[in-house]
Amino acid sequence: MNLQTVMEFVDAINRADVDDIFDLMTDDHIFVDSLGHEIKGNRQMKQAWSLYFKMFPDYKIEVEDILENDSIIVLLGYASATYQNNIDEINSNYWKIPASWKAITDGNKIRFWQVFADNSVAIEIINKNK
């Protein structure tokens, strides 16, 4: 059940389905980004995911390995996206990086989601396009 919930969450992210993402988060959901910044609450995260998908509409999580310990699931793999999906500069705006995610489930919802990745490539692309 816990792993299934996490994989449904990943699937919703890969489809950029903010409503499904929202439905899979607990009300007191906590998100921690790769720089350690924390966002609390599913409503705040719904807005954050909407903004993120505007910047990276084709954001994808590729899972290669899974570690599971009851309600704690760790995913290992890659994150990729194209900044603003600029077709004219798709090669220079596309990035793919090794990443991992820690999820803590609560029933059939995600209570905690943390990403571990070096996002310097994505940040460099954003700064280049300002």
**H or E element that contains 65:** strand 60-69
Per the CB < 8 A criterion, the answer to whether 107 and 25 are in contact is no
- The tokens 């490539």 sit on which residue? 121
Domain extent for 58: 2-128
Report residue 119's pLDDT band, with 50, 70 and 90 as the boundaries.
confident
Domains identified in the chain, total number: 1
Q: Convert the pLDDT of each residue in 16-45 to its tens digit.
A: 999 999 999 999 999 999 999 999 999 999
Per the CB < 8 A criterion, the answer to whether 29 and 41 are in contact is yes
pLDDT at residue 128 in the model? 75
Q: Convert the pLDDT of each residue in 61-113 to its tens digit.
A: 999 999 999 999 999 999 999 887 555 555 668 889 999 999 999 999 999 99
Show the tokens assigned to 10: 């990943």
Residue 34: which CATH number?
3.10.450.50
User: How much is the mean pLDDT over the chain?
Assistant: 92
Q: Is it the case that residue 120 has pLDDT exceeding 70?
A: yes
Q: Which segments of the chain does DSSP mark as H helices, in order?
A: 2-14, 18-23, 42-55, 90-93, 120-128
